[in-house]
Structure 1
Amino acid sequence: METQMSRIHQTTYNAIFQHPVARNLQWHDVRSMLNAVTDETQEHNGTLRFTRNGETLTVHPSKHKDLSDIHELMQIRHFLERSTLPAQAIIAEGVHLLVVIDHREARIYKTELHGSVPERIVPYDPDGSHRHLHNVDDDANGQRQPELKPFYEAIARSLSGTKKILIFGSSTGSSSAMDYLLADLKEHHPDIQERVVGTVVVNEQHMSEDQLLAQARTFYATTER
């Protein structure tokens, strides 16, 4: 079963794949999203059974408004992954990747897979301030402080072993996460940086995932002719 999710459902779906794990998900929102993409059956004892593309998820309705059980959240995440990507379609190496990055997160897609579920990586933000990227210089040596280093290292780990990488960003210059990523790869992971085949500025806030992936596939198809 595949349906088009609403923006609210997409936001909830995205939060389930957030890294670090989201802590403020509401059970009502999660169930509503699951209803949009699965067939739900409620058993006599109150247990809920969600079915999608031959995969089944069984959960006990949360007694709390929020989804605070991390184990249950991971079960939902793994169910969505299994029911979206057929086992035979999983590609370990040689894939063409799309990285969509801004100051809030990086989403990494396998462009060959229709309905690709992205890996999501977000900067560590312990105080919840959601700071925008900006130049932060160390007074002692003029170097940028490493506050976002783990963010870029996590992205680099996810890009290792791939054949080609396309990066979409929302801007260029000193406030651009895309430019920071390119600089970090060039300095610390030149082997990965050499596989970056293009960088494109897009208005990703106004593009669906299908539109982003379609543009990436067109780019790859054009450059490989």
Structure 2
Amino acid sequence: MISAHIHGHDRAILGRIFHHPTSNNLEWREVVAFVERIGSTEEKRDDRWGFTLAGRTATFLRPRDKDMDPREVERLRRLMQDACLSPYSTEILEASPDQGDNDALIVVDHHEARIYRLDLETVGGETETTLRPYDPKGYIHHLSHKEDGNYRGQRAPEDLAYYDRIAAAVTNAPRIAIVGHGTGKASAMSVLSERLREHHHETQGRVVATATIDLSAATDGQLLALGREMLTRDAK
């Protein structure tokens, strides 16, 4: 569920937080106001502040000058990454309920990723999170499933941070099943798999099954049934 949108000046602040090399002229008051708009802040003792985003909290030291220390900016960046934010994010999601050791089903194409946390013993007890890529020019929005990642004969620009956010959303799932649409290197499932292999080795090691189907013709119930079947098959 979306709890806050990021737009206008806030997008510029987000970009500066993620900028490399780390910014050394990011104003503290500006950061506090930004975090309050997309999450919450709490002033504590000894010039310390708690920042909370999507259920994740970290404590930061208020600088003596007006600008944040670059090391604190790096810690803020990690907090935002834990909250599934990237330089391209346009929204922040509410914290999902604690899923413990629940397995995950990822249903992914270039338009969006639906992430279900499944308790295999409780049908109907799943939760869903939806992530979407940053697509400022609307290329991906107008793609049909048959094109599956091509725009006028060319691959649509990829927001690779989109796939990193998918990985972050299943970081504690003991087993992961992935369902995608289309085949070949242009498919979103292939891009996700490659991203996991290159940058999220531990998560890739927990992928136990993948399947390719026509997502445009599949209902939520069919997708969940397929995911449960894939995960149950691995458990045997």
With the shorter chain as reference, the TM-score category is 0.5 to 0.7
Shift of 1:20: 8.5
Mapped contact 1:18–1:120 kept (Cα < 8 A): no
Q: What fraction of aligned residue pairs are identical, expressed as a percent? A: 31
Q: Of the candidates 130, 139, 143, which is equivalent to residue 129 of structure 1?
A: 139
* Matched residue, 1:193: 204
Larger deviation, residues 111-120 vs 155-164? 111-120
For 1:79-158, what aligned pairs fall within 5 Å after superposition?
90-112=97-119, 114=124, 116-130=126-140, 133-134=149-150, 147-158=158-169
Shift of 1:115: 5.2
Specify the SS of the correspondent of 2:140. Answer: coil
* Deviations 1:43-89, CA, capped at 9 Å, x for gaps: xxxxxxxxxxxxxxxxxxxxxxxxxxxxxxx9xx97xx99xxxxxxx
Higher relative strand content: 2
For 1:69-80, what aligned pairs fall within 5 Å after superposition?
none
> Is 2:157 the partner of 1:164?
no
In 1, Cα distance between equivalents of 2:134 and 2:203? 23
Mapped contact 1:105–1:123 kept (Cα < 8 A): yes
TM-score of the superposition, structure 2-length normalised?
Answer: 0.51
Mapped contact 1:19–1:121 kept (Cα < 8 A): no
Specify the SS of the correspondent of 1:127. Answer: coil
In 2, Cα distance between equivalents of 1:128 and 1:161? 32
Pick closer, same or farther for the CA change 1:129–1:21 going to 2, 3 Å.
Answer: farther
Structure 1: segments with no counterpart, 5+ residues: 1-16, 24-73, 83-89, 136-143
Amino acid corresponding to residue 158 of structure 1 in structure 2:
A
Shift of 1:174: 2.3
Mapped contact 2:111–2:140 kept (Cα < 8 A): yes
Amino acid corresponding to residue 93 of structure 1 in structure 2:
G
In 1, Cα distance between equivalents of 2:99 and 2:128? 14
For 1:171-210, what aligned pairs fall within 5 Å after superposition?
171-210=182-221
In 1, Cα distance between equivalents of 2:188 and 2:4? 19
TM-score of the superposition, structure 1-length normalised?
Answer: 0.53
Mapped contact 1:19–1:120 kept (Cα < 8 A): no
Pick closer, same or farther for the CA change 1:165–1:127 going to 2, 3 Å.
Answer: same
Structure 2: segments with no counterpart, 5+ residues: 8-90, 144-148
In 2, Cα distance between equivalents of 1:124 and 1:181? 15
In 2, Cα distance between equivalents of 1:195 and 1:215? 18
* Matched residue, 2:229: 218
Pick closer, same or farther for the CA change 1:134–1:183 going to 2, 3 Å.
Answer: farther
Specify the SS of the correspondent of 1:110. Answer: strand
Mapped contact 1:171–1:201 kept (Cα < 8 A): yes
4+ aligned runs moved over 6 Å, structure 1: none
Pick closer, same or farther for the CA change 1:217–1:184 going to 2, 3 Å.
Answer: same
In 2, Cα distance between equivalents of 1:223 and 1:193? 15
In 2, Cα distance between equivalents of 1:160 and 1:130? 26
Amino acid corresponding to residue 109 of structure 1 in structure 2:
Y
Aligned residues: 140
In 1, Cα distance between equivalents of 2:205 and 2:6? 33
Alignment RMSD, CA only?
3.3
Shift of 1:91: 4.2
